[in-house]
Amino acid sequence: TVTDLIDLFEAEAARDRPTEEMPDVGIIMGSDSDLDVMAGSESGRPGAFDALTALGFEECTDYDDPPESRYTFETWVVSAHRTPELMYTYAETAADRGLDVIIAGAGGKSADLPNMTASIAYPLPVIGVPVQEKSVDSVIGMPHGAPLTAVDAGKSYNAALSAVQILARGDDELADRLRSLHDERQTDVATVSWSLHD
């Protein structure tokens, strides 16, 4: 139930655990219908899971059994309108649960999950992903003094790269991984460019 989820997040926040056992990046979305855009892999279009996996992150699906990788992320469906208390608890406990950055995606015209999460989790950074084109204004339309970083519609892949850029400010290993991934992109473009001249 929603109460169980709220209890879980509150218990995790109160637990005294080594940082390396807690997820670094939190991915939340308003509905499981957002999963294709947010994860990416299934739809064929790269998404946040693809970027994080390419950078060596593993998904934490059980707080009591964290993955091997020292870099991890978690994924939850949290709806601003259908489960407001859950959204509040998720955002409010995020820092105490070890998260360094949240990626929040929502679709529709009232895509309020990213901006509400940003306001509650502040000063933890939140990167908003408008799941559809029509969600862009709702996600980016924050008032003065209430910041939310956002990517363009559907660009959860870029949101994940931005999230890791934030983590990489204090982590040379992650910075190297970001550079390697960027080099791979450059090589891909060069290969295509050369292929036109074969």
Q: Report the residue from 55, 94, 106, 136 that binds ligand RP5 according to the rule CB under 6 A.
A: 106
Query: E strands, 94-170, where?
Result: 101-106, 126-130, 149-150
Task: Indicate which single residue of 23, 26, 28, 30 sits in contact with ligand RP5 (rule: CB under 6 A).
Answer: 30
Using CA atoms, how far apart are residues 83 and 9, in angstroms rounded to an integer?
A: 14
DSSP state of 96: T
108 binds ligand RP5 (CB under 6 A): yes
Q: Which position among 7, 11, 33, 184 is part of the footprint of ligand RP5 (CB under 6 A)? A: 33
Nearer Cβ to ligand RP5 (46/84): 84
Q: Does 31 bind ligand RP5 (CB under 6 A)?
A: yes
| Residue 139 CA: distances (Å) to CA of 8, 39, 53, 93, 126 | 27, 19, 26, 22, 11
Phi and psi, residue 146, nearest 5°: -120, 85
Residues of the shown chain interacting with ligand RP5 in the complex, contacts defined by CB under 6 A:
30-31, 33-34, 79, 106-108, 131
Binding site per annotation, positions for substrate: 31, 34, 82
Binding site per annotation, positions: 31, 34, 82
